[in-house]
Structure 1
Amino acid sequence: MDTIEKIGNSVIQHGKYNDRVYLMKLDPSDIPSIMDKMDFLAEQKHYSKIFTKVPESFKKLFCKRGYICEASIPKYYDGIKDAVVMSKFLDPERSINRLNEMHKNVIETALSKEEISHSSLPSGYSIKKCTQEDIENMADVYQETFETYPFPIHDQDYLRKTMEENIIYFGVFKDGKIVALSSAEIDYEHSNVEMTDFATLSDFRGKGLSSQLLISMDKEMKILGIKTAYTIARASSDGMNIVFAKCGYDYCGRLINNTNISGDIESMNIWYRCL
């Protein structure tokens, strides 16, 4: 898997698995030196993309350094300031979206769906926050669902560590077993949360379980006082894009050839919602 480490006071992920450098969390005190360090790292390791989430106030600076804005997340910081996703393509081939028409159709389909007004879990199912006792079952569900994934969610140690830090995992249970999962990765410092890691076992798809998970997550984040929620969803997935559209999220951009998921480097859509 790719490595997560610090440059100065900022957090990056990098490696050949996703073939990129990802600036996960910027400390503004590291500007502009971190840009040179990411360039050097990408050149040294022959990565084909750098992508970043940074305050909008840095947009012009990143543009001057060869980045383009792929998405904007309104009210990302403290429910007030916007974030921009700035990307630099070091290999021109990676910047070409050969599935552009299909991705446009996915968004059009999702946006045509009406928001969920009244819905509930099927009889015999329940949703709860996962605990340490669920970790083995969680890892099995993720292992069965994803051929590849940008983070090691099939690893029990990773699940345990992140559960102890800033991620709340939610599960749909049937007969005492997890049949669908998701997670809320919370940035308490800036009051935002990434709704991510959705997985449903194949025998239980088509029951609206992901929508019910997202509804439960939204409610829990409101209770915690989190102001903004967002997700990075596979651009080719009708299902997950429809889930977020129907749950009141707004589309705000696409990351081209960005993430190693389900066996290949795929483009990703970003959706957000003010809670």
Structure 2
Amino acid sequence: MTTTTDTVTTLGGSTVQHGPLNDRIYLMHLDAGDLPGLPDRLDALAEEKGYGKIFAKVPASAQGLFAARGYVTEACVPRFFQGREDGCFLAKYFDPARRLAEAGLGDVLAAARKKAACDPPADLPEGFSSSPATPADAPAIAGLYREVFATYPFPIHDPAYIARTMEENFRYVCVRSHDRIVAVSSSEMDAEAENVEMTDFATHPAFRGYGFAARLLAVMENAMQDAGMKTAFTICRAASYPVNITFARAGYAYAGTLVKNTNICGSFESMNVWYKPLA
């Protein structure tokens, strides 16, 4: 397992993640005050570091400015910001190999669409329960992530990172078998944009096949509606049948594919974006 992680920092008032692990820049939060110059600053950073891709999450009103600088739109989520303005997931490639998606992704998407909104999640089997995680759970959660993911775009293998995000804008939910955490997921809230990313799903290999991800997703959706979030979305592994089917069955709509976007489980993988209105 690599211990390399990328850096989250700021360019002006905007938040970016960048580094060699994902070989990219990720514009996580755009401050409109940084326009129109931010795309040029991102280009300069990518060229300085030799990154293969820039990935940007921006309001639709900024899409044209980025398109004029060579960005393409890979996904779009309606009413992503404050339940009003669409959100665009944009990409600019510096390494031609990063433009080439893996084979078979269309088959995964077709299989997921066949399962769209077909069944509610099953109840947990006897002996299992779901509950919010606390900082005391951080070592066990990080340990589970280490077992499931050889690499990951954020340092979820680190208990200190898990505990810190709990104090910020993340909420974690666990499935437990007695005192053991056997599955986990998190919701990352953007209070300003009133959207939430459903992410970091992991189930211990010995406990797969019980539908824990679907149950965790349902629990998180209820909590996020109560928290006032208007749109839920996920950026999930495009090659994974189970995770794409989980979101399609829960009523999420497909928004697009981010090509060779994320270093996860030891290699660069394309990621699908799915979304669902919560309000």
**TM-score bin, normalised by smaller chain:** over 0.9
Specify every segment of 5 or more residues in structure 2 that has no aligned partner in the other structure, as ranges: none
Q: Deviations over 1:28-74 (max 9, x none)?
A: 11112211111000000000100100000111111110000000011
Q: Does 1:257 align with 2:242?
A: no
CA contact (8 A) 2:142 2:158 kept: yes
**Quick one: which of 203, 213, 217 aligns to 1:214?**
217
Q: Does 1:61 align with 2:65?
A: yes
Q: Does 1:127 align with 2:93?
A: no
What pairs up with 1:87-98 in 2 under 5 angstroms? 87-98=91-102
Give how far 1:114 is off. 4.5
Task: Tell me the residue number matched to 1:228.
Answer: 231
Q: Does 1:111 align with 2:91?
A: no
Q: 1:119 to 1:147 in 2, by over 3 A?
A: same
Q: 1:118 to 1:4 in 2, by over 3 A?
A: closer
Q: Deviations over 1:56-95 (max 9, x none)?
A: 0111111110000000011110111100011100111211
What pairs up with 1:172-211 in 2 under 5 angstroms? 172-211=175-214
- What TM-score comes out, normalization by structure 1 length? 0.98
Root mean square deviation, CA, Å: 0.9
- What TM-score comes out, normalization by structure 2 length? 0.96
SS at match of 1:21: strand
Give how far 1:118 is off. 5.8
* More moved, 90-99 vs 203-212: 90-99
Give how far 1:169 is off. 0.6
Amino acid across the alignment from 2:45: L
Amino acid across the alignment from 2:41: K
Give the Cα separation in 1 of the matches to 2:243 and 2:251: 13
**Quick one: which of 73, 77, 85 aligns to 1:73?**
77
Give the Cα separation in 2 of the matches to 1:117 and 1:211: 9
Give the Cα separation in 2 of the matches to 1:98 and 1:152: 25
**Quick one: which of 242, 245, 248 aligns to 2:245?**
242
Give the Cα separation in 1 of the matches to 2:261 and 2:97: 12
CA contact (8 A) 2:116 2:245 kept: no
Give how far 1:117 is off. 2.9
SS at match of 2:21: coil
Task: Tell me the residue number matched to 1:166.
Answer: 169
Task: Tell me the residue number matched to 2:23.
Answer: 19
Give the Cα separation in 1 of the matches to 2:83 and 2:201: 24
SS at match of 1:160: helix
Amino acid across the alignment from 1:79: G
Give how far 1:168 is off. 0.3
Give how far 1:131 is off. 0.2
Amino acid across the alignment from 2:262: T
SS at match of 2:153: coil
Task: Tell me the residue number matched to 2:277.
Answer: 274
Give the Cα separation in 2 of the matches to 1:127 and 1:27: 37
Amino acid across the alignment from 1:257: K
Give the Cα separation in 2 of the matches to 1:248 and 1:123: 26
Q: Does 1:157 align with 2:160?
A: yes
Amino acid across the alignment from 1:15: G
Task: Tell me the residue number matched to 1:34.
Answer: 38
Q: Deviations over 1:9-39 (max 9, x none)?
A: 1100000100000000001111122111110
Give the Cα separation in 1 of the matches to 2:190 and 2:74: 22
Q: Does 1:48 align with 2:52?
A: yes
Give how far 1:185 is off. 0.3
Q: 1:251 to 1:114 in 2, by over 3 A?
A: closer
State percent identity of aligned pairs.
47
**Quick one: which of 129, 135, 147 aligns to 2:150?**
147
